[in-house]
Amino acid sequence: MKEKTMNMTTGNPVRLLLTFALPMLVGNIFQQFYNLVDSIIVGKFVGANALAAVGASGSVTFMFFALIWGISGGAGVITAQCFGGGNEDRVKRSIANAAYLMVSSAVLISGIAFFLAEPVLVLMKTPAEVLYDAKAYMQIQCVGVILVAGYNFAASMVTALGDSRTPLYFLIFSCVLNIGLDLLFVCVFDMGVLGAAVATAMAEFIAGIGCIYYAFRYNPYFKLAKQHLQPDKAMLWGAIRIGIPLALQNSLIAVSCAALQSVVNSFGAIAVAAFTATGRVEQLLHQPYASISAAMSTYSGQNLGAGKKDRLLDGYRKMLVVMTGFSVVMWLVMQVGGGWIVSVFVDDPEVIELGKTAMRITSWFYIPLGFINVVRGMLNGVGDAAFALINGIVEVFGRILIPLGLLLIPGMGVWSVWWATGLTWLVSAFFCMLRYFSWKKKVFGGKDGKS
């Protein structure tokens, strides 16, 4: 049973976390390729307006996907805690109940998102010349929520058990498939933005089916008996109690991005295209942060379940150091090569020049971004549901109020968008650290990690 799992309650914390995070990092990068490939192919073969359409719908689409990610994350925390506690029967029951929760949530969210696509895009002041394509792309992606939910269920469960490799294999395959389907639908069938959305949804569906099949076929914890299939109110409520705030956190962050997108839209299609390109670049470059955050969540959940709070805190502190070093490297990369990276997405020199300066601005705030992800992962793993909601609210206010204030500064103009992103990370990191110290005082009674 051990070969498909990783017990993170013993051994060197940094080695375990990095070993566990590496496959997740590769998987996250490949997952980002879905959007990256859409953006590159659409931007190169259809044009800047098409790229703007993909970007204009991105933040709203993310909001609905974030709800699913939050629900699966909450279910994963419950499973990780059960696994850390060494209770095989409870692990299996948590897997079954996670499936019930994911299916019902996906159907509800997908239906709501499909019908809200156009009203939300209009509310965001999406430029008229890209509205039709943005709506088509968003609606196809929203239908894909149901398809993505299957993959998120299987991935969150096996990840909670310490298996970060299985989701990676299916993501790599589906990413390659997505590239082929994108080229087929966009370049051969001339389906434009709609073709890119269909290609992505099909590739995600295949990843989900493959991951689910493999988990039930080869992971022993997925060998469920009849008694494991009974709905468990306590487990469902536990997953909802943690998952809903996580979902709201992610959704509120998405709402804040949508609010920022509306500011970008007011500067026209060139600014939207630049914001889309820089957003795609940062989605890719930020995956190490997300991978460490997810690893910290599993690590924290397992160690809390095993009652090893001192070990939990030791891993947290060491990963803060690791993330700080990584952030410095990423700052250097963006200061030197940001413009070249943006040019991968679009040929328009005006968009490239705008994007180059934008990447230099946001890279100054990568260290607070690293702190956010380490603290968020740790507190999510211990089930601090209130923090998740607080963090989301902070980001909403930051992305709404900061750009409004910056726009009052003469000459700031479009640059307020990227300064607002960085300053929001800084404010959010401050609140994350406040929450961490509050949690530590509660758990350790003011002692320095010794209980």
- Residue 2 banded pLDDT, cuts 50, 70, 90: very low
Is there a domain that residue 163 lies in? yes
With the C-alpha atoms ordered 418, 421, 424, 426, is the resulting torsion angle positive or negative? negative
Q: Residue 341, exposed/middle/buried by CB under 10 A (0-12, 13-18, 19+)?
A: buried
Q: How do residues 136-152 score in pLDDT, each as one tens digit?
A: 788 887 777 887 788 88
Is there a domain that residue 451 lies in? no
Question: What's the pLDDT at 307?
Answer: 82
Q: Around Cβ 316, how many Cβ atoms within 10 Å?
A: 23
Under a CB-based contact definition with an 8 Å cutoff, are residues 212 and 153 in contact? yes
Cα–Cα distance, 319 to 8 (Å, whole number): 15
Is pLDDT at 277 greater than 70 in this prediction?
A: yes
Is there a domain that residue 112 lies in? yes
Token pair of 138 as six digits: 């968003």
Is there a domain that residue 6 lies in? no
Q: Report residue 404 CA to chain centroid gap.
A: 26
Mean pLDDT for the stretch of residues 58-84: 78
Cα–Cα distance, 107 to 56 (Å, whole number): 24
Is there a domain that residue 291 lies in? yes
| Number of structural domains the chain divides into | 1
Question: What's the pLDDT at 445?
Answer: 67
Type of residue found at 98: A
Q: How do residues 96-138 score in pLDDT, each as one tens digit?
A: 888 888 888 888 888 887 888 778 787 777 777 777 778 878 8
Q: Around Cβ 75, how many Cβ atoms within 10 Å?
A: 32
Mean pLDDT for the stretch of residues 179-199: 82
Cα–Cα distance, 135 to 320 (Å, whole number): 40
Stated pTM of the model? 0.66
Which residue, among 355, 328, 334, has the nearest Cα to 343 in the 3D structure?
355
Cα–Cα distance, 283 to 162 (Å, whole number): 24
Under a CB-based contact definition with an 8 Å cutoff, are residues 303 and 309 in contact? yes
Is there a domain that residue 149 lies in? yes
Question: What's the pLDDT at 305?
Answer: 79
| Segments forming the whole domain that contains residue 52 | 21-444
Question: Could you tell me the CA-to-CA distances from 446 to 20, 46, 441, 442, 449 in Å, in that order?
Answer: 31, 59, 4, 7, 8
Is there a domain that residue 9 lies in? no
Is there a domain that residue 2 lies in? no
Which residue, among 418, 390, 60, 427, has the nearest Cα to 257 in the 3D structure?
60
Q: Report residue 268 CA to chain centroid gap.
A: 27
Q: What is the CA angle 423-426-430, rounded to 5?
A: 145
